[in-house]
Structure 1
Amino acid sequence: MAESGHPTRKPDLAGLVLGTVMTASATYAIIQGGATGYAKAPIITMYVVFAVSLFMFVRVELRHPDPMLDLRLFRSASFSAVMGVAAVSVFGLVGVALLSVLYMERVGQTSPLDVGVRLLPLFGTFLLVTVVAARVLVHRVGLTPLITTGLVLIGAGSLALLATDASGGYEAMWPGLLIAGIGAGLLTAPSTAAAVNSVPPQQEGMAAAAVNMARQLGTVLGPSVLGTIVTSRFPRKLHDRLVEAGIPSPQADGIVEGGSHGGGATGLPASLARVVGTAVPRAFTDAVHLGSVIGGVVLIVMAVPAALFVRHKVHSPRTSAEA
């Protein structure tokens, strides 16, 4: 087997620092902007920091003799598609898990221990299918079909969470978790293989590391984006539900303020408490459904470039060098 390590590795500290600043500023802006508003000065500042650090990161990596990430690898359509797959797949998997946890805790009033047990169809299936896909399916089916199918299944699992309602029942949730777990397991090993397969042998190690970096980015963006969607939309959904129930808008605003901070219907008259007790789980379910739709659509859309550009076969290092 050809050696994929680089014989003259030099530290790329500037790239490491700029990459960290870039990721941290974007994450802060997404999370905090959802809570305070994206037009606030600190949020705008963070986006400026992100843009500047991104520009400098690209500039440094292109000029560094031994960059942390060789951006020229993205000239390969297959490599670029795999990076998108890696980020989006974890974005979707973590997003499904987060939305499920929020739903179970806030709507179903499920204990933390029971939440962990109820996530087994997602993560248990993911682990089992990953082993099977890595050892058997990659060589029998090929990279592209597994990656494309995996993305579609995670997206379908996310959309399947739309079957949940304000009752907080688990019966409507577990099928979506199972489907998403199967999808994530199908594409984890193939996406790494596809990345390595898309570059020359001496850059295989960098390609594998880049896949892991893209997955880490997805791990950050999944909770940041989808969690922000839920927490920012819940107050609006709750306000709309209360107004629909006949509560005056000013009074609804006060209830929303309390509901957003976990106050619920405490201290309200019995008749009003019943209305609020019904509106809160419905509004939170609505917000979770919105996050599920966005996550599902992103995953299914990503399946298109995956199907078009990811290499279809697993090549040996020698074959990769000849390609």
Structure 2
Amino acid sequence: MYAVCAVCLVLFVAAEARHRDPMLDLSLFRNASYSAVMGVAAASMFGFVGISLLAVLYMERVQQLSALDTGVRLLVMFATYIVVSALAGRLVHKAGFTLVLTAGLVVLGAGSLALLAIGPFAGYHALWPGLLIAGVGSALLTAPSTAAAVNSVPRLQAGMASATVNMFRQIGSVLGPSVLGTIVTTRFPRYFEDRLVSADVPAPDAARIAAAFPGAGTRDLPGPLRHTVTESAARAFTDAVHLGLLIAGVTLLVLALPTAAFVRHRTPHI
């Protein structure tokens, strides 16, 4: 599938570069502001969807919450997103695209890093501030990035710019959960085994339990060991989620730099 994707991408670029009336005018990417906005669109959904997924995994796997309880707790992020999105346009008029988009990436990254405060046995008080901050940051990126993309091209290509920014959002929404989710699921077994060893479980037994968990369950384990396994699993999964949140936060903060450097506040239409 990767090979098919690569071949199709090459063919698409070749066709669009030669066509008299291309669906996607590749020359638009010579505009640094336009290209930077596409990066912002991808990064915004990378963070928004990725952070949401990690929060869901944490609440359901570590805190053992139901899907309904998890959804209710996520409202602090999504409700904030809805409210602030309604105000984002006014902020762009006052502060410009550069400042709003850069601030959005910084705030979204800060929200991801704020979620590092969650622990394996922490209450909702440790979770909601990070979700709230992430909701604010995401709201500062979605509508303004579309407006900035459209504003970076001639008027006749506004529809093309709008469609392209949505395409990059879709790319980001795929990369966020896939990359961050993979980090969590691949690091968890190693962290789990290390936690078991640090809890004085013999290394061979720790490796066997980590390889079988959670499929084998803990019912057949002795009481003290069952408690150790359950607690170690919660701590290890939280550690893995922390790593994903750290990578997401740092990535968003780093991407804020080219956004500040290349996105222009107002590009006159041709």
Displacement of 1:57 after TM fit?
A: 2.5
TM-score w.r.t. the length of structure 2 is: 0.96
Matched, 1:320 2:269: yes
Percent of counterpart pairs with the same letter? 60
Match of 2:223 among 270, 275, 278: 270
Other-structure match for 1:174: 128
Structure-1 separation of matches of 2:63 and 2:123:
7
The corresponding residue for 2:259 is 306
Q: Which amino acid aligns with 2:86?
A: V
Matched, 1:58 2:13: yes
Is 2:200 aligned against 1:246? Answer: yes
> Aligned letter for 2:204?
P
Deviations 1:240-259 (A, max 9, x none): 11112222222112211232
d(CA) in 2 for partners of 1:248, 1:109: 27
Residue by residue over 1:175-212, the C-alpha shift from the partner in whole angstroms, topping out at 9 and shown as x without a partner, is: 00000100111122211111011111111110011111
Q: Distance in 2 between matches of 1:294 and 1:252?
A: 28
Answer yes or no: is the 8 Å Cα contact 1:264–1:277 preserved in 2.
no
Give the 5 Å matches for 1:22-41.
25=1
Q: Which residue of 2 aligns with 1:126?
A: 81
The answer as to whether partners of 1:81 and 1:305 remain within 8 angstroms in 2 is yes
Counterpart secondary structure, 2:126:
coil
The root-mean-square deviation of aligned C-alpha atoms, in Å, is: 1.4
Q: How many residues align?
A: 270
- Runs of 4+, deviation exceeding 4 Å: none
- State the partner residue of 2:109: 155
Structure 1 residue 264: deviation in Å?
4.3
2:25 counterpart of 1:70: yes
Provide the residue aligned with 1:137 in structure 2: 91
**Partner AA of 2:230 in structure 1:** G
The residue aligned with 1:189 is 143
Match in the other structure for 2:119: 165
- Matched residues in 2 for 1:67 and 1:290: separation? 42
Within 5 Å, give how 1:205-284 maps onto structure 2: 205-261=159-215, 263-284=216-237
Whether 1:81 aligns to 2:36 is: yes
How far the C-alpha of 1:121 sits from its partner, in A, is 1.2
Alignment correspondent of 1:28: none
Give the deviation of 1:50 after TM superposition: 3.5
Gaps of 5+ in 2: none
Structure 1 gaps, min length 5: 1-24, 26-45
Partners of 2:7 and 2:71 in 1: how far apart?
Answer: 40
RCO higher in 1 or 2 (8 Å CA, sep ≥ 6)?
Answer: 2
TM-score, normalised relative to structure 1: 0.80
Match for 1:205: what amino acid?
G
Cα distance, 1:118 vs. partner? 0.5
The equivalent of 1:5 in structure 2 is none
